[in-house]
Homo-oligomer: A and B are copies of this chain.
């Protein structure tokens, strides 16, 4: 399914030799129209990779004909030469499609600080254009994997239209986009303005709410391409719901596959004075190394939760904090509550609920535990 589930999109995933393993590493998505409405959301890191700088400009035009993606090299921190490489890549794909590079978006992921092997990448781009087909969605999703153990895809059927999507990302997952690339396609008939507005709303409550290791990548990109091939102008409410579901589905897949993780943890903050407070508290807990180690050790250590909450400026009274882990309220009124022994931390999915007793707002951030596997993977693998 993936990005070719909607009508009017072709895709490919080919081996260009950028990954030492020899696996697929260049993906292409071609939008065959009739429309080319598009929008993008990019990393908020101020150190932006060349493909991000390029694709931001492409998306400003509101039209995307094709997206070319590579794994194995992020083309980040590569200076003007790296930007020229991205430009050259877009030109090559555009020429093959007999179009302008101004409508070709580029995404890269992999090592930071090394120049691309351009002969290999350009040959890969050529091969991808030649291979692009209606059944190329899965190979494309496979080609953008780096440390991802599985390809991530999602789709939803709407009233007369379809949304399809793929994503990659297994480390550097943090708000303001996990370190991730994602392309969402639809055959619904939407304007670029609609794409932009609805993509921002969808990512704000999905990709922006996962945080595996607090690290914000230089390359994060989410693109939405709408070609109108279904002839259906959707209800905005329905499309927004389905688009958000697709993004949330992919976000959960990223957390489930996060590097070295053994737990998928929902940090649910309730009773907050406002949503901002709830998000701040949830993110602070999600980034607390000691709490994350305790989860790995299956230790319902609510003291570390409180210690994390205490570093925020959210509205709360320390004596009114309540904490539940998997539904057991082990901290009540800032002190010892029900017995820790009632908490079962064996399953992968964990829910930590913090009640700030300060209002009625709530928010949830999804994170993972901090494990010896994470440290091993990120001390041995140069990204």
Contact = CB atoms under 8 A, between A and B. Distances in A.
Contacts of A287: 214
B372 A299 contact: no
Interface in A101-131: 111-115
Contact of A214 (B79, B289, B379): B289
Nearest to A260: B375
Interface stretch (A6-14, A20-28, A41-49, A266-274): A41-49
A218 B306 contact: yes
Contacts of A197: none
Contacts of A77: 302-303, 306, 331, 334-336
A40 B28 CA distance: 62
A296 B372 contact: no
A78 interface: yes
A146 to B, nearest CB: 13
A335 to B, nearest CB: 3
Given A306-B47, A336-B114, A372-B372, A79 B319 contact: yes
A297 B375 CA distance: 9
A76 B303 CA distance: 8
How would you classify the secondary structure of chain A's contact residues: helix, strand, loop or mixed?
loop
| Tally of this chain's copies | 2
B296 A379 contact: yes
Interface stretch (A150-158, A180-188, A307-315): A307-315
Nearest to A336: B113
Interface residues of A, number: 65
A180 to B, nearest CB: 14
Contacts of A290: 171-172, 213, 215, 378, 383
A328 interface: no
Nearest to A312: B46
A294 B112 contact: no
Contact of A303 (B297, B301, B383): B383
A376 interface: yes
Given A290-B383, A319-B79, A335-B82, A46 B310 contact: yes
A3 interface: no
A221 to B, nearest CB: 15
13 contacts: A45-B311, A46-B309, A48-B318, A77-B334, A77-B335, A77-B336, A78-B336, A79-B334, A79-B335, A112-B301, A216-B310, A297-B380, A374-B375
Among all A-B residue pairs, the 5 with the closest Cβ atoms? A112-B303, A297-B379, A47-B310, A79-B335, A293-B378
